[in-house]
Structure 1
Amino acid sequence: MQEFLFSYKQELVATAITFALLLILKFITDKTIRKIGRISDIVEARTLLITKYASMLLTLLGFGVISFIWGVNFREVGLVFSSVFAVIGVALFASWSILSNITAGVILFFSFPFKIGDQVKILDKDIESQEPFLIEDIRAFHVSLRKSNGELLIYPNNLMMQKAVILMYPSEDIPDGTEEA
């Protein structure tokens, strides 16, 4: 055991430092995302979802760094990963919109052009009504929109990014162009 510790002393120290840095980065990232969510009045469930995505990204980054530290042969690992990703890529080709919806959900979180409780009109030729919708929920894949007559429309996040969306103001907040002096 002592021989192992002596032989791989640098790798063990670098791994410990990497773990410490990843924990610090995770803490800072979580605090930042929660602060953005609190400042922009975003629902806690959305904030937790984005926190989970950031944590998964940091974990993947950590695996990459630790693999580099321990001198993993990237040619052999690259061959395995390229084969696996080729199979996964073919399998996921039909469901590429899932990834675009998740990405759009993350973008909507950080850009926060609208939030739950806002009324919006979506300029989409496939939506028959031009009546405004109330945003009830924003999830990882879709936005739940409700009409005044109670109908519920589940609209994909990527379409919220692609289509023109008009944010409606409550009547007391409508700017009339005149300001008091």
Structure 2
Amino acid sequence: MNTIISVIPVEVFYSIAIFLLLLILQFFLKQAAKRVGERAEINITRTRLMFKYINILIFILAVFLLSIAWGVGWAEFSLIFSSVFAILGVALFAIWSILSNITSGVIMFFSFPYKIGDKIKIHDKDLPVEAIIEDIKAFHLHLRSLDGELITYPNNLILQKAVSLLEKNARLDEGKDAL
């Protein structure tokens, strides 16, 4: 038995420990997001979107920790990540609105006071909107105006504008949750 353990490199044990640690962390993060979703009565589709974000975070942590465990030096590691972040920085600066909408979507998951089916009024001096929230996506809201027009409103703008709740659960389509 000792000969088998001595043949296996120590990096394998570190990798197994990292995977177990990350699985436990992922479980607790998903349970926390699920509890927040249930407590705030958030649509299951939005909760599943948070699960995707948690999976991405765990993957990035796994790459970081496994590269350290397998002996990537800090100099090489910092060179790789600084190059990747420089490229991402330029790319994200070019598409900063997408990043701000995703960030706003995460913020809205935890602290948005309105739910699907609520009738709201957005106080925008250029385009005042009075509509019913049909869906809350990662990048935008789907609003249905009183005339029946579908309006997609960016998440980052909904957090910047004053919003009034006109009627709670004005229209709620049952069975509309996506799987």
TM-score w.r.t. structure 1 length? 0.82
Aligned length, in residue pairs: 167
Partner of 2:136: 138
CA drift of 1:3 comes to 8.6
Q: Confirm whether residue 124 of structure 1 aligns to residue 152 of structure 2.
A: no
Q: Equivalents in 2 of 1:4, 1:89: separation in Å?
A: 46
Partner of 1:93: 93
Partner of 2:36: 36
Partner of 2:52: 52
Partner of 2:103: 103
Q: Confirm whether residue 159 of structure 1 aligns to residue 157 of structure 2.
A: yes
Partner of 1:76: 76
Matched AA of 1:15? S
Moved more, 149-158 or 57-66: 57-66
Say which SS state the counterpart of residue 165 (structure 1) adopts: strand
CA deviation map 1:53-92 (0-9, x unaligned): 0111122112212222223112123223322332332233
Q: Equivalents in 1 of 2:48, 2:23: separation in Å?
A: 17
Moved more, 29-38 or 137-146: 29-38
Matched AA of 1:14? Y
CA drift of 1:35 comes to 2.3
**Looking at CA atoms only, which structure, 1 or 2, has the larger radius of gyration?**
1
Matched AA of 2:143? L
Unaligned 5+ residue runs, structure 2? 169-179
Matched AA of 1:95? I
Matched AA of 2:111? S
CA drift of 1:109 comes to 0.4
Identity of aligned residues (%): 49
Say which SS state the counterpart of residue 11 (structure 1) adopts: helix
CA drift of 1:5 comes to 5.8
**Residues 40 and 112 of structure 1 are in contact (CA less than 8 Å); yes or no, is this contact kept in structure 2?**
no
Moved more, 107-116 or 38-47: 38-47
Matched AA of 1:160? I
Q: Equivalents in 2 of 1:36, 1:42: separation in Å?
A: 8
Matched AA of 2:113? P
CA drift of 1:133 comes to 1.2
Q: Provide the aligned C-alpha RMSD in A.
A: 2.2
**Residues 119 and 132 of structure 2 are in contact (CA less than 8 Å); yes or no, is this contact kept in structure 1?**
yes
Q: Equivalents in 2 of 1:64, 1:7: separation in Å?
A: 25
Matched AA of 2:89? G
CA drift of 1:14 comes to 2.2
Say which SS state the counterpart of residue 121 (structure 2) adopts: strand
